[in-house]
Amino acid sequence: MQVLNIGTTIPTLAVLALSMSLLGIGTTPALFALFVATLLPITRNTYAGLKGISPALMEAAAGLGMSPTQRLLRIELPGAMYVIFAGIRTALTINVGTVTLAFLIAAGGLGELIFTGIALYKPVMMLAGAIPTAILAILVDALIAIMAFWMVPRGVNPARR
Amino acid sequence: MLHPAVRRIVIVMAFILVFLAGAWLSASGFINEFLSYREDISYLAVQHMYLTAVSGGLAILFAIPLGVLLSRPQMEKRRNLPCRC
């Protein structure tokens, strides 16, 4: 967990610079840096969700004779699914915004219009990058919310009670 | 809740405001200039979504098993120690 905290605490720009010095320029280092920056929210929410399962439920499952693997797959994961989805939602929405920085190590993305627009004093060009990025982030957020609504089992889904 | 009549007035005002904003944007040439980047936007948006999908997908595939692993009782002792990892 501490290692992941380091990955998120270092500014994404610095992670990009570090991964560029390791992997060179282009798509691969950008993907790696984004991957590192996205890990923490998902891991932390998975952990918190699994820890949040009520001990009484776990004891009942053990009393029914379930093995630890069965308990994980049939009690803990479905119970934690809602929290896990919340983590994925946070992580991916931030990720969409961070992808704009990938332009700085020549990986493309809508950041190309934003940074070029800033450099050339062309506000419309900058907005042509910024507005689609915002729309994309909202779409991703909505998409994951819909997925969470349908994929989390009805009994543990606060939205469908 | 607002009174229905007040609500109707607010909605009509909002429509008028949106219309005026659109007219102003169009008159100032913003929309035409914006649309001149159409091809760039569609190409870069696809690239943007590709980068998001690949990095996000990898992160999900990696992070959930990691979270499960960290929550197992055996890992509990060394989870938060800054050293002796």
Identify residue B52 by its one-letter amino acid code: T
B67/A132 touch (CB, cutoff 8 Å), yes or no: no
The set of residues, in sequence order, having a beta carbon less than 8 Å from that of A131 and lying 6+ positions away, is none
Q: Give the pair of three-digit tokens for residue A136.
A: 């994309």
Homologous superfamily, domain A2-156: MetI-like (1.10.3720.10)
Domain ranges of chain A: 2-156
Distance from CA of A161 to the nearest CA of B (A): 26
Contact A125, A131 (CB under 8 A): no
pLDDT recorded at residue B81: 54
For the cut 50, the answer to whether the pLDDT of residue B84 exceeds it is no
Q: Of the candidates A75, A69, A4, A89, which has an alpha carbon nearest to the alpha carbon of residue A43?
A: A4
Q: Which of B54, B80, B85 sits opposite A31 (nearest CB)?
A: B54
Q: What CA–CA distances, in Å, run from A37 to A80, A154, B59, B75?
A: 22, 32, 9, 23
As separate numbers, helices (DSSP H) first and strands (DSSP E) second, chain A gives 8, 0
User: Which pLDDT tens digit goes with each residue over A19-43?
Assistant: 888 888 888 899 998 998 888 889 9
User: Which pLDDT tens digit goes with each residue over A134-157?
Assistant: 999 999 999 999 999 998 888 888
What pTM did the predictor assign? Answer: 0.81
Neighboring chain B residues of A3 at a CB cutoff of 8 Å:
85
